[in-house]
Amino acid sequence: MAQKTEFDVIVIGGGPGGYVAAIRASQLGMSAAVVEREHLGGICLNWGCIPTKALLRAAEIKHNIEHAADFGIEVSGTVSVNLKKVVERSRGVASRLSSGVGHLLKKNKVTVFDGTAKLAGKSGANWVLSVTGKSETRLTGKHIIIATGARARALPGIEPNGSSIVTYKDAMVPEKMPKSLIVVGSGAIGVEFASFYQDMGVEVTIVEYLDRILNAEDEEISALAQKSFEKRGIKILTSAKLLGLKETSQGVAADIETGGAKQQLVAERVIMAVGIVGNSENIGLEATKVKLDRGHIVTDGYGATGEAGLYAIGDVTGAPWLAHKASHEGIICIEKIAGMKHVHPIEDNSVPGCTYCRPQVASVGLTETKAKQAGYEIKVGKFPFLANGKAIALGDDEGLIKTIFDAKTGALLGAHMIGPEVTELIQGYVVARSLETTEAELMHTIFPHPTLSEAMHESVLDAYDRAIHF
C-alpha cells in the first residue's frame, strides 16, 4: 500500500514544538505528519536540555563526593572521572528519549518522514512540500507548521572548527578534558558549560560582552550568581569584547578588550555560546508573504504568519528560546487551527526560565528593573536560603528567593531565585501567576515543613514586612 502523502497538518521539524503540535493535531481528529531531517526530539532532547542535564548530574555527584567529609562521610583515595562513560551516559539518556518520541508519534498515528522539507508552492487550497531524504517525496497539507528550531550563532570571522573552538554540540561530547577553557557568552548555555567543566577540574574563564552575566535575569540574581561562580574559582570578564581567536601551540589565544584595554587569554579550548539564529533559510519562504525579523519568523500570538496556511512555532520565531515555550506554542497553534474556543496567546512574561548551573537559577515574570520601567509601584520580598532549615540540612544554603508584587493590586509580577533545586520550585510561582493569584492567597497557603518551598512563602511575607524566620 502506498504511503499517505496528503494531510491536514504537516509539521516541519520534530523538536519539542513540532512533535507536540503533531500529537495534539491527531488528538483533535486531524491527519498529521512530521518531517524531521536529523533526530526526533530536536536539539533540546538530543543536543541541549536533556543530555546537558545528564552531564551536570555527573558533575554534581563528583562535587558531592569531594565534599562528603562535610557530612561525616569519609571517602578514601582520589575521585577520578571516566569521561567516556560520562559522555556515553549522557548520549544514552538522549537516545532513550528520542526513541520515546518516535513511539509517541506512532501511538498517536502521526506519520514521520525522514528528510529535509521545502515549500514547493500550492496545489489548489493545499501547500506542497518537497521532502528530500533517501528519496524525494511530495507531500500536500492544508496547514504547514514551521518548527525548524535554531542553531548556534557564530561571530563574524570567528568560526568554530570542531576541535579547539567549539559550539555546544562538540562541548557535550569531549574526548578528553581540557586543562583550561574560555566560555564566550554567559547566557544559560554558557554558564551551564562553565559550571560543568569547572566541577570537572577545568580552569574556566567566562567572557561576556554585556556588563553582567545571565543578563536576562534580575540584576540581584545575576550578581549573586557571579559571586558564587568566582568563589568556586571561575574567572569572569564582563563588558569584554572578543576581538579575535587564533590557534596556537598551547590551544587558542583570545584577544579581549575591556574598558579600552586589550589583553590576551590563552586556553586549550573555547566554547562559543553567543546566542542562536533561527533556521529560516532554505525552506522556501522567499516566494511567500512570511516576514522575517533578524532571521526569525514573525507570527501573531497563535503562530500564524503573513501567509494563510503557514504557521511557525518555537525557536525559529525568536526569544525566549525555550523548549517548553515551543511545546505550548504548538498546542496553541493547533487548537486555533481546529477552531477551539478560548484559546489564549502565549504571554512571554509567564514563561519560566531555568539555568542548571551550580547554584541553579530560575525566574518568571518581570525583573525589578523592568517592573519599575513598566510604571508599576512595587513591593519586593526576599528570603535567603541560609535561613531555611531544609537548605541547611542539605548543606546547600547559598541563594535567595525574590518576589515582586504590584503594590496596588497585589498581583505577582515576577519571581527570581538562585539556590538549591530552584528550577523545580519556580513552577509554584508560575501556577500562581496563571491563576492570577495575589499576595493574599500566597500568604494563606500552607507550605510543608521542612522544605525548600518554605522560602517561597517567606519571600512573599517579606514583601509585606511579615517574614517570620529572617
Does the pLDDT at position 292 exceed 80?
A: yes
Tens digit of each residue's pLDDT (9 = 90 or more) over 333-370: 999 999 999 999 998 889 999 999 999 999 999 999 99
The secondary structure of residue 115, as a DSSP letter, is S
Does the pLDDT at position 44 exceed 90?
A: no
The predicted model gives 130-154 an average pLDDT of 92
Q: Grid coordinates representing 387?
A: 535561613
Q: Which residue pairs, CB below 8 angstroms and at least 24 apart, start in 45-48?
A: 45/15, 45/16, 45/94, 45/97, 45/98, 45/101, 46/94, 46/98, 47/94, 47/168, 47/169, 47/172, 48/168, 48/323
The predicted model gives 319-323 an average pLDDT of 91
Confidence class of residue 234 from pLDDT cuts 50, 70 and 90?
Answer: very high
Partners of residue 175 on adjacent β-strands = none
> What is the residue whose three cell numbers read 508560575?
430
Q: Which of 72-76, 92-96, 136-140, 454-458 tops mean pLDDT?
A: 454-458
Considering only 155-159, 405-409, 436-440, which range has the smallest mean pLDDT?
155-159
Measure the CA–CA gap between 196 and 204, rounded to whole angstroms. Answer: 10
Tens digit of each residue's pLDDT (9 = 90 or more) over 10-35: 999 999 999 999 999 999 999 999 99
Q: Grid coordinates representing 95?
A: 537516545
The predicted model gives 214-219 an average pLDDT of 97
Does the pLDDT at position 453 exceed 60?
A: yes
- Which one, of 125, 144, 119, lies nearest residue 34 by Cα? 144
Q: Can you tell me whether residue 462 is helix, strand or coil? A: helix
Measure the CA–CA gap between 245 and 156, rounded to whole angstroms. Answer: 11
User: What local confidence, expressed as pLDDT, does residue 77 receive?
Assistant: 84
Confidence class of residue 3 from pLDDT cuts 50, 70 and 90?
Answer: confident
pTM: 0.94
Cβ–Cβ < 8 Å for 48, 168: yes
> What is the residue whose three cell numbers read 540584576?
219
Domains of the chain: 6-152+277-337 (3.50.50.60), 165-274 (3.50.50.60), 359-463 (3.30.390.30)
User: What local confidence, expressed as pLDDT, does residue 250 receive?
Assistant: 84
The secondary structure of residue 4, as a DSSP letter, is P
Measure the CA–CA gap between 225 and 116, rounded to whole angstroms. Answer: 41
More reliable by pLDDT, 124 or 401: 401
Say which amino acid occupies 251: G
The secondary structure of residue 308, as a DSSP letter, is T
> What separation in angstroms does the CA of 422 have from each of 76, 89, 358, 361?
32, 25, 11, 6
Region for residue 191 given its phi and psi (left: phi exceeds 0; alpha: psi -120 to 50; beta: otherwise)? alpha
Cβ neighbours, 10 Å, residue 377 = 11
Measure the CA–CA gap between 447 and 115, rounded to whole angstroms. Answer: 50
User: What local confidence, expressed as pLDDT, does residue 119 receive?
Assistant: 95
* % of the chain with per-residue pLDDT over 70: 100
Cβ–Cβ < 8 Å for 466, 405: no
Active site residues: 449
The secondary structure of residue 68, as a DSSP letter, is G
Q: Can you tell me whether residue 116 is helix, strand or coil? A: strand
Length of the chain, please?
Answer: 470
User: What local confidence, expressed as pLDDT, does residue 9 receive?
Assistant: 98
The predicted model gives 442-458 an average pLDDT of 97
- Which one, of 441, 391, 446, lies nearest residue 418 by Cα? 391
Q: How many CA atoms lie within 13 A of 100 on its CB side?
A: 11
Cβ–Cβ < 8 Å for 38, 14: no
Does the pLDDT at position 273 exceed 60?
A: yes
Q: What's the mean pLDDT when you consider all of the chain?
A: 95
Measure the CA–CA gap between 159 and 57, rounded to whole angstroms. Answer: 30
Measure the CA–CA gap between 246 and 266, rounded to whole angstroms. Answer: 10
CA angle, corner 296, sides to 295 and 297, nearest 5? 125
CA angle, corner 349, sides to 344 and 355, nearest 5? 125
Query: What DSSP assignment string belongs to 349-401?
Result: GG--EEE-SSSEEEEEE--HHHHHHTT--EEEEEEEGGG-HHHHHHT----EE
The secondary structure of residue 109, as a DSSP letter, is T
> What separation in angstroms does the CA of 470 have from each of 355, 385, 389, 407, 453?
27, 10, 12, 22, 15
Number of H helices, E strands in the chain: 13, 24
Q: Residue 64: which residues within 8 A CB-CB, separation 6 or more?
A: none
The predicted model gives 387-395 an average pLDDT of 97
The predicted model gives 394-423 an average pLDDT of 97
Does the pLDDT at position 90 exceed 60?
A: yes
User: What local confidence, expressed as pLDDT, does residue 46 receive?
Assistant: 86
Q: Grid coordinates representing 428?
A: 509554584
User: What local confidence, expressed as pLDDT, does residue 302 receive?
Assistant: 95
User: What local confidence, expressed as pLDDT, does residue 2 receive?
Assistant: 61
Does the pLDDT at position 457 exceed 80?
A: yes
Measure the CA–CA gap between 218 and 249, rounded to whole angstroms. Answer: 41
Does the pLDDT at position 313 exceed 90?
A: yes
Say which amino acid occupies 147: A
Cβ–Cβ < 8 Å for 11, 18: yes
The predicted model gives 384-393 an average pLDDT of 97
